[in-house]
A and B are shown apart, each in its own frame.
Chain A
Amino acid sequence: MSWEVLALALIVGAANWGFRTLPIRFGLGSGAGPGGGMLARFLAAVGPAAIATLFVASSLPFVQAGAVLAPLAGTVAVGAVWVWRRSVVLATLAGALAYAAGFALAG
């Protein structure tokens, strides 16, 4: 493990710890929720923007490769299991299973 990778891990890990624990430590949440200010809108938007971006970025190689059946099966399975069970983990695993099945069928 290079020093650069270790530094990246420590920086991101420290930020994660701060994001997850400090708002609780400083008593946020016992009163009103996030307001409608610019910071609240920014915080509310960053997560969805990041996840949407990463979904697109991780899906592009599949689209560029021209495969249709397996990615379609995986995507539909994620959506269907999410609607059914409301579980990120189960939806993720179902998507991977369906993709593998589609990959096998496509030969």
Chain B
Amino acid sequence: MGDRQGETFGAGIMAAMPIALGYFPIAFAFGVAAVGAGLSPLGATALSVIIYAGASQFLALALITSGAALPVAALTLIAMNLRHVLYGPALMKAAGEGAGRRHAWAWGWGLTDEVFGAALGELARGRRFAEAWMFGLGLPAYAAWVGGTLAGALAGGGALAGWPVVEAGFSFLLPALFLALLLSILTRPQVPVIAVAGLACVAGTLAVSSTTGILGGMVAGALAGVMRRGA
């Protein structure tokens, strides 16, 4: 890696620091929850290494502990992450003509919601796109996520038992994360989709089960989006 690329990589690392600092405690909570759900520390860390998508990892724990069938669990988690399909095209469009994509198979793995948002924001503020910069932006976030999970898993499922207020705060991380994600993608055309999905989820959960509510909400919301004209 040459000097210029090294500088670009370093700039990416500096831009990633707020993300890494934020990821660590959330990942720690995931590690604690995963071990509490019966996974080994190695298994909990493996989920973060292999899946690397916070909200769907928490949901994976819920699906695993509720005994959901593998195809149902996989489809639910994949549907949840389908939005990531749009991140790469949106980023490359912002990067402009001729932007490098040779190593996208590697740095693209780091395009989480936060990394995507940070990259788009930096490009909007005039930063020139470079693949080295994308590597720098993605690596600290990934390291913080995996490291936080390992730390939480090693601390153990009962690590917070003597700290009820801290445990309460961690218990709210998941709805807080989903709400923040929802706000981050909220646009007026998506309001009917969100309303239909939420109502269908409540109805399905109360009438049948939480798994039915989750699947029903996703399907009903997506269908509401497909049927809407002028999206």
Contacts and interface: CB of A to CB of B under 8 A. Distances in A.
Given A16-B81, A57-B210, A88-B184, A4 B70 contact: yes
A68 interface: no
Given A5-B64, A28-B89, A16 B197 contact: no
A79 B175 CA distance: 12
Nearest to A102: B168
Contact of A52 (B180, B205, B217): B217
B20 to A, nearest CB: 9
A1 B42 contact: yes
Contacts of A87: 18, 22, 114, 117
Q: What range describes how many residues of A lie at the interface?
A: 35 or more
B10 interface: no
Residue among B39, B176, B214 facing the most chain A CB atoms (10 A cut-off)? B176
Interface in A1-21: 1, 4-13, 15-17, 19-21
Interface of A: 1, 4-13, 15-17, 19-25, 27-30, 33-34, 36, 38, 40-60, 62, 70-71, 74-75, 78-79, 82, 86-97, 99-100, 103-104
9 nearest A-B residue pairs (beta carbon): A45-B225, A49-B221, A47-B83, A89-B22, A29-B89, A95-B176, A100-B169, A1-B43, A53-B217
27 contacts: A12-B77, A13-B50, A20-B84, A28-B88, A29-B88, A29-B91, A29-B92, A30-B97, A30-B99, A34-B86, A36-B231, A43-B85, A46-B222, A48-B185, A48-B193, A48-B197, A55-B179, A56-B197, A56-B201, A57-B201, A57-B210, A87-B114, A90-B18, A91-B183, A96-B169, A103-B168, A104-B168
